[in-house]
A and B are shown apart, each in its own frame.
Chain A
């Protein structure tokens, strides 16, 4: 990465989802993560971008998605924001619950939490901010999720 922090403002389109994933993959590679970690980071970003574009901004062309990457000595911090109504975190389903196992959607946040070391969701009336962290030198003892 040429700078420690880069950010992008993106349209609410499917192309944004693919671009976000590709950018995350490139930045994670430049940060020195191995192939498996790069896949996890890029997939987490893809899922977050899907949520922002589809569920947050609902493909509204007047609404943007912002995506920021910051590399510190210990962490890759990724923040993605939409301009939707704000995610109701109480309605995030548990996709492993028996009643939900065969549902065709509702696995995005679960995958993000599975792949990243820290995941914070900050909804507001002007949109949702999803902040996720991958430790540069992964420590299995680190908690999987920060307090909401």
Chain B
């Protein structure tokens, strides 16, 4: 299953609902293009909802890092929401869990963005 992406706005925050696999190839490209498109439109508060992402490989991890850095470099904020156990464990062993701002409650995550 490849990755699907849809976006919605909640109180000035763009929530990107992702589902499927973030892996080398299509999944990574979809994530990259989605984040770049949002930033180019000035939507710089981005919450990636990974609740339905059931698989991620090292390329996908790299793409999350790239998205985080790209948003930050453009004065934006990118946070992660609803990690599955697999993704959580991967971010733990790669020591990225503490780098990303990870949330597990959507309303609280939206409020956590700077006004």
The answer to whether A104 touches B66, judged by C-beta atoms less than 8 angstroms apart, is: yes
Chain B binding site: helix, strand, loop or mixed by DSSP? Answer: helix
A14-B24 CB under 8 A given contacts A102-B65, A104-B62 = yes
A105-B69 CB under 8 A given contacts A14-B24, A39-B86, A50-B24 = no
A104-B94 CB under 8 A given contacts A43-B57, A111-B58 = no
Residues of chain B within 8 A (CB-CB) of A104 are: 62-63, 65-66, 69
Name the distance in Å between A50's Cβ and chain B's nearest Cβ. 6
Q: A108 at the A/B interface (Cβ < 8 Å)?
A: yes
| Residue ID in chain B nearest A105 by CB atoms | B62
User: How far, in whole Å, are A54 and B59 apart by their CA atoms in the complex?
Assistant: 12
Residues of chain A within 8 A (CB-CB) of B66 are: 104
The answer to whether B94 touches A95, judged by C-beta atoms less than 8 angstroms apart, is: yes
Q: B115 at the A/B interface (Cβ < 8 Å)?
A: no
Q: Which of A17, A47, A101, A108 contacts B95 (CB 8 A)?
A: A101
The answer to whether A107 touches B99, judged by C-beta atoms less than 8 angstroms apart, is: no
User: How far, in whole Å, are A43 and B93 apart by their CA atoms in the complex?
Assistant: 14
Give the size of the chain B interface in residues (CB under 8 angstroms): 20
Interface string of B75-114 (1 = CB under 8 A from A): 0000000000010001001111001000000000000000
Q: B53 at the A/B interface (Cβ < 8 Å)?
A: no
Residues of chain A within 8 A (CB-CB) of B86 are: 39
The answer to whether B25 touches A14, judged by C-beta atoms less than 8 angstroms apart, is: yes
A108-B58 CB under 8 A given contacts A14-B24, A50-B24 = yes
Q: Report the interface size class on chain A.
A: 20 to 34
A105-B96 CB under 8 A given contacts A14-B25, A17-B24, A50-B24 = no
The answer to whether B24 touches A107, judged by C-beta atoms less than 8 angstroms apart, is: no
The answer to whether B99 touches A102, judged by C-beta atoms less than 8 angstroms apart, is: yes
Name the distance in Å between A28's Cβ and chain B's nearest Cβ. 15
User: How far, in whole Å, are A110 and B90 apart by their CA atoms in the complex?
Assistant: 11
A46-B57 CB under 8 A given contacts A17-B24, A101-B95, A102-B99 = yes
Interface string of A89-114 (1 = CB under 8 A from B): 00000011000011111011011001
The answer to whether A107 touches B58, judged by C-beta atoms less than 8 angstroms apart, is: yes
User: How far, in whole Å, are A17 and B55 apart by their CA atoms in the complex?
Assistant: 14
Q: List 10 A-B contacts (CB under 8 A).
A: A50-B24, A50-B57, A50-B59, A101-B96, A104-B66, A107-B62, A107-B94, A111-B58, A111-B94, A114-B93
B interface with A by C-beta (< 8 Å) = 23-25, 57-59, 61-63, 65-66, 68-69, 86, 90, 93-96, 99
